[in-house]
Structure 1
Amino acid sequence: MRNVLSIILIMCGSLAASGQQRSLTDSLHYRAELQTTLSTGDHTPLWLNANKYGLSSLKTANGYLRGAVARPLSADDGRKWGIGYGVDMAVAAGFTSTLVMQQVYVEGRWLKGTLTVGAKEYPMELKNQELSSGSQTLGINARPVPQVRIALPEYWTIPGTRNWLALKGHIAYGKTTDDNWQKDFVSPQNRYTEGTFYHSKAGYLKIGPSKFTAELGLEMACQFGGKSYYELSRDDWQWISNEGGLKSMIHAFVPGGGEVNETTYENASGNQLGSWIVRLNYEADTWEGSFYLDHFFEDQSAMFMLDYDGYGDGAEWNTKKDNKYLLYDFKDMMLGWELKLKQCDWLKNIVVEYLYSKYQSGPVYHDRTQTISDHIGGNDNYYNHHIFTGWQHWGQVMGNPLYRSPLYNDDGSIRVADNRFVAWHLGISGKICEPLNYRVLSTYQTGLGTYNDPFTSKQYNFSLLAELSWQLKAGWSVRGALAMDSGKLLGDNFGAQISIAKSGIFAK
């Protein structure tokens, strides 16, 4: 974070000296916010905590004072190049840390491409930011990871396609910041990591300039490098140093290699995961409708729903002999429907989602042996990993929050204890009158635990959020929300949250 702040100050000084000080301070936005959350039960209700970029808490009494200053890249829309930066921090009570550096970044743009250095909140792609339960790979549930990110953030029309094909995407490398939190949270006989690196990449193709459009996307991410620790007994820690250097960065980008503690059976280096995303849109005069699919995968077999299973027998048990493959069922997915009503203020947006994650390529994982040469790549164990602490940052999953985050665990383990579930989710929003908007989220979930540690019986949960927001004069806004959880999966919780914010642009 200090390095990013230094870059911002150096850039400001150099551009000011070159006679471009006005462009650096033009459109400088500010925001100040005070938020308080009070709850009864064991935790803050789900939808008062989830999908807030990790600036939230499960403790029943929590709050923060937040301040941010940012210059958006859009301030230079009339130029071939642009410069943006931002500092966003909070002083919190009842959080995993008292001082939260939520966003610190500097970014530049040349034509359509951008380069960003630092921690920044990035919205979900191809989903409604306020009403969706969340993306399964690149979600908005955890604190931003400081990274270097090259992106084409908006669709760029491919020349010669008559506006029928457009692309956008990004490539990023970064490093997680929750080492100390992991050490404090973890209990004996459980695993934690230090110095973990982060990689993500995504590409999206848009087809059609007409009323009907299709968007196809692939999101992939990886945790790699650093050290993984496991306590054998009190103060007796065993650790391994994971693959590092340039080779680990290459294997994060193009999955390959193997873990340092693997010999005969090598999986790809690091914790690899991703999603295939499809979104179909239709726009009419008075409404817009969309259907989307998000298929999550933890390995190559689930990515292509296909696995090699043609090894020989006896001495050739580890030799590929036959053109034989195992085809997996296409079960695990998020299905979503979104409707936007253009001429109905009181009901503007409706989102319905169905999530199924029970299959995970089946319950059995078996690598070929001299006696049994069949290979079955099941038990994918979504968001968990045998070396890394899984797809989480500061205790919150970095994907969809219906995969129960490690913060909920009372046994000191940094793992997702419920990743096999079925859920229905409904989100609606609209405007009651000109300054008053509302949002309602409702989710019903049936959880089974994991294949390795299943619940003794199904656990259920119903979560509800009702939120009102007032947009007042002079940049003031007030947001109030009531929420609840009911069921064994998250406990019986009821809470209220109120936020008061002031935003605007600094006068010249």
Structure 2
Amino acid sequence: MQNFYRKFLIIISGIFLPMLGFAQLDSLTYQVDMWGGAANQPYMPHWLVANRFGVLDYDHNRAGLLKAGLTSHFRVNKHFTIEAGLEGIARTTFSNTDNNLFLQQGYVKAKYGIFELSGGRIERTLGNHAEHISSGSMAISGNARPIPQIMISVPEYAKVPFTNGYVEFKGTFTHGWFAQDRRYIRNALLHEKSFYLKAGGKSKINVSAGIIHLVTWGGKLPNGKKLPMGFDNYVNVILAQSAVNIDSTDSFQIGEAANAVGDNLGVYDFAVHIKLKEYDINIYHQTPFEDWTGSRLARNKDRLLGINLSSKRKDHWFESIVYEFIYTKYQSGPTLPGGPDDIPGAKDKYGNDFGGRDNYYNNYLYKTGWAYNDHIIGTPLFYTKSRMKLYDPTFIDPDEKGFNFNIVNNRVVAHHFGIIGHYQNKWKYKVMATFSRNLGTYGGINGGITHWGSIENPDAPYAFKPAKNQNYFLTSIERRLFPHLTLHIAAGIDTGEIYNSTGLLAGLRWDFNRAREQVSQE
């Protein structure tokens, strides 16, 4: 599949690059960033790392970064545009063992009318949220590095025919490659699709509803055996159906035949958009689900609920303010995820139905979970095992000898605040504060995802028992020093019952945009 990806990009380049000879260059943007960071602990504060597209890791308590990129926009005609981007990063932690040079972005986008075809590594998010000051979408938050992918999309809302513009739609359909970035299954694939409808047109109140479907599937087991793939199984991935054409002697493939192919994650996404004279109000609600029990919206108590106020006034002291409430404690309840036929040795449900412990972002087979390069792809308020071991080297997940899940803290209740704005039209500032209560996982508190330790052995020690409070704070400022040079400073402070850390990032950005008029004059 990696060869297919390379061939596809060659074909796309072969189709679109010759068109550039007939296209007008609308703009060409250069950008170079130089950053340095340090913390008073072996790990950086949360918001100095999270939602920065994976360019820094939590264990980078001393780091330097050089990022250089360019973006070009071409116009073939009034309906057809092409965009290409390239961005590389050189990163050092001032040690001999952790210096990196990697491609952060490299892509081509071709847009004709409302449709867009893109391929490569592209920094993007998915889901309604206040992008620059949010805690992060439950689907794709911008916390991890871009995954190589091919996408067909309607990126902006487009009018539905015969509705006079009152109803609009947008959506994505994506195929991606996780490659070797897996703890257990190698060369796994990504399937993503989303679809949104918005009603209201030009009225002051618009309402939107969408659904996101994300699947990690395919790949190879450690013994070299392939998991269900091929066109028939790809169709079943799209339809969230069970696998076909399996090896009946392989227990993992039998499991794929009994369930929907791969590791499935869904998000219901709703929003109300209110347009006022000087402000816009956006109220959004995301509900994650992992299986059919969680997909019953009326019974699912977990959510990301946000309200975002944006100012239309250029001279206003703030651009955008957000409050978010994050609740992922329920996960279809504390009951076992399957019945006695599904979980050998399951003794008693203690008066409860089966079908709980959804275990967000984890999977028994795809043990990396919803993560890439050890950065969670969705909300960064969850913890991976490696991150938790930074804070507590003695941490042991009770499921480690069993399923060995990667996400060890996914039951979180949090309040998040963010604001971004300007001071005297010279300084741009951003402030964020997050107050979280962390309960680990159902598997952790029960001594295993299929056990009842919370009832049978309530005194057993567990890192998240009782629940741990943890707070994350960020203040950042930036100012234009010269027409093309900007100073950035960001300070983070984390306090709580899990860890404490204080850190600083500081850097310079040089950027230059050559508009079409400038290019034509040269």
TM range (shorter): 0.7 to 0.9
Residue by residue over 1:150-172, the C-alpha shift from the partner in whole angstroms, topping out at 9 and shown as x without a partner, is 00001101121121100011100
The alpha-carbon distance between structure 1 residues 2 and 90, as it changes in their structure 2 partners (threshold 3 A), is farther
State the 1:288 CA deviation: 1.8
Give me the whole-angstrom Cα distance separating, in 1, the residues matched to 2:508 and 2:240. 45
In the alignment, which residue of structure 1 is the partner of 2:155?
153
* Residues 166 and 206 in structure 1, CA contact (< 8 A), matched pair in contact too: yes
1:268–1:124 distance in 2 versus 1, CA, 3 Å: closer
Instruction: Tell me the equivalent position of 1:15.
Output: 19
Q: Report the equivalent of 1:452.
A: 443
Q: Can you list the C-alpha shifts for 1:373-402, whole angstroms capped at 9, x where unaligned?
A: 996211100011100020000001110100
Q: Secondary structure at the match of 1:376?
A: coil
Hey, what does 2:218 align to over in structure 1? 225
**Residues 12-411 of structure 1 aligned to structure 2 (within 5 Å):** 14-15=18-19, 19-20=21-22, 23=24, 25-58=25-58, 59-72=60-73, 75-76=74-75, 79-94=78-93, 98-179=100-181, 182=182, 191-209=183-201, 210-229=203-222, 241-258=226-243, 260-262=252-254, 266-305=258-297, 329-343=299-313, 345-365=316-336, 366-367=338-339, 369=341, 376-388=354-366, 389-410=368-389
1:467 aligns with 2:467: no
The residue type paired with residue 510 of structure 2 is: K
Deviates more, 1:203-212 or 1:4-13: 4-13
- Aligned mates of 1:378, 1:105 — CA distance in 2: 41
Rounded to whole Å, the distance in 1 between the matches of 2:12 and 2:40 is: 43
Give 1:282 deviation, angstroms. 1.1
Does the alignment pair 1:505 with 2:520?
A: no
Match of 2:493 among 453, 469, 484: 484
**Counterpart in the other structure of 1:311:** none
Encode CA deviations 1:91-148: one digit per residue, 9 max, x unaligned. Answer: 1113976012111111211211010011111134421111110100122111111111
Q: CA offset at residue 7 of structure 1? A: 5.7
Partner of 1:262: helix, strand, or coil?
helix
How many Å separate the matches in 2 of 1:446 and 1:96? 32
- In the TM superposition, residue 194 of structure 1 has moved relative to its aligned partner by 0.8
Secondary structure at 1:438 match in 2: strand
Post-superposition offset of 1:348? 2.8
Q: Is the 8 A contact 2:179 2:186 kept in 1?
A: no
CA change 1:250–1:2 in 2 (3 A) is closer
Distance 1:76 1:408 in 2: 45
What amino acid does structure 1 have at the position aligned with 2:308? Answer: E
1:429 counterpart (420, 423, 435):
420
Fraction of identical pairs, as percent: 27
Structure 1 262/367 Cα, relative in aligned 2: closer, same or farther at 3 Å? farther
In 1, distance between residues paired with 2:41 and 2:197? 45
Q: CA RMSD in A?
A: 2.7
Shift of 1:81: 1.3
Q: Structure 1 residues 96 and 239, CA, compared in 2 at 3 Å: closer, same or farther?
A: farther
Give the whole-Å Cα distance in 2 for the aligned partners of 1:122 and 1:96.
26
TM-score relative to the length of structure 2: 0.82
How many Å apart are 1:463 and its aligned residue? Answer: 0.5
Question: Is contact 1:5-1:104 (8 Å) kept?
Answer: no
What is residue 308 of structure 1 aligned with on the other side? none
What is the identity, as a one-letter code, of the residue corresponding to 2:44? T
Scaled by the length of structure 1, what TM-score is found?
A: 0.84
- How many residues align? The count is 461
What's the CA shift for 1:291? 1.4
> 1:31·1:69 contact (CA, 8 Å) conserved in 2?
yes
| C-alpha distance in 2 between matches for 1:271 and 1:217 | 20
Tell me, in whole angstroms, the C-alpha distance in 2 between the residues paired with 1:4 and 1:62: 36
* Distance in 2 of aligned mates of 1:124 and 1:77: 28
- Aligned partner letter, 2:68: G
Given that 1:467 and 1:481 are in contact with CA atoms closer than 8 Å, whether structure 2 keeps it comes out as yes
Q: 1:3 to 1:121 in 2, by over 3 A?
A: farther
Counterpart code for 1:478: L
Deviations 1:4-34 (A, max 9, x none): 7756764576336xx52x62x4412211111
Higher deviation after alignment, 402-411 or 444-453: 402-411
- 2: distance between equivalents of 1:63 and 1:113? 39
| Structure 2, gaps ≥5 residues long | 244-250, 390-395, 446-463
Residue 369 of structure 1 deviates from its aligned partner by: 4.3
Counterpart amino acid of residue 166 in structure 2? W
Q: Judge conservation of contact 1:137–1:275 (CA < 8 Å) in 2.
A: yes
Give the whole-Å Cα distance in 2 for the aligned partners of 1:460 and 1:239.
Answer: 43
Question: Secondary structure in 1 aligned to 2:27?
Answer: coil
The alignment partner of 2:36 has SS state of strand
- Asked if 1 retains the 8 angstrom alpha-carbon contact of 2:414 and 2:437, the reply is yes
SS in 2 for 1:106: strand
Distance (Å, rounded) in 2 between the aligned partners of 1:2 and 1:92: 26
Partners of 1:482 and 1:11 lie apart in 2 by 46
Q: 2:292, 2:212 → 1: CA distance?
A: 13
Alpha-carbon separation, structure 2, partners of 1:287 and 1:178: 46
Unaligned runs of 5+ in 1: 183-190, 230-237, 306-327
Q: 1:45-102 CA distances to partner (integer Å, 9 max, x unpaired)?
A: 1100000111122120112111111124xx4285221222111111111397601211
- AA aligned to 2:84 is Y
Structure 1, residues 220-270: CA drift from partner, whole Å, max 9, x if none?
1000011244xxxxxxxx565321121332222111114844359822110
2-structure distance, mates of 1:54, 1:165 = 36
Superposed CA offset, 1:412-439 (max 9, x none): 9661110011000000111112121110
> Alpha carbons of 1:194 and 1:113: their partners in 2 closer, same or farther (altered >3 Å)?
same
The CA distance in 2 between the partners of 1:443 and 1:79, in whole Å, is 45
Deviation at 1:277, TM superposition (A): 0.8
Quote the Cα distance in structure 1 between the aligned partners of 2:132 and 2:76: 26
Query: CA-to-partner distance for each residue in 1:193-214, whole Å, 9 max, x for gaps?
Result: 2101011111111110201111
- Inter-CA distance 4–28: structure 2 relative to 1 (3 Å threshold): farther
Moved more, 170-179 or 433-442: 170-179
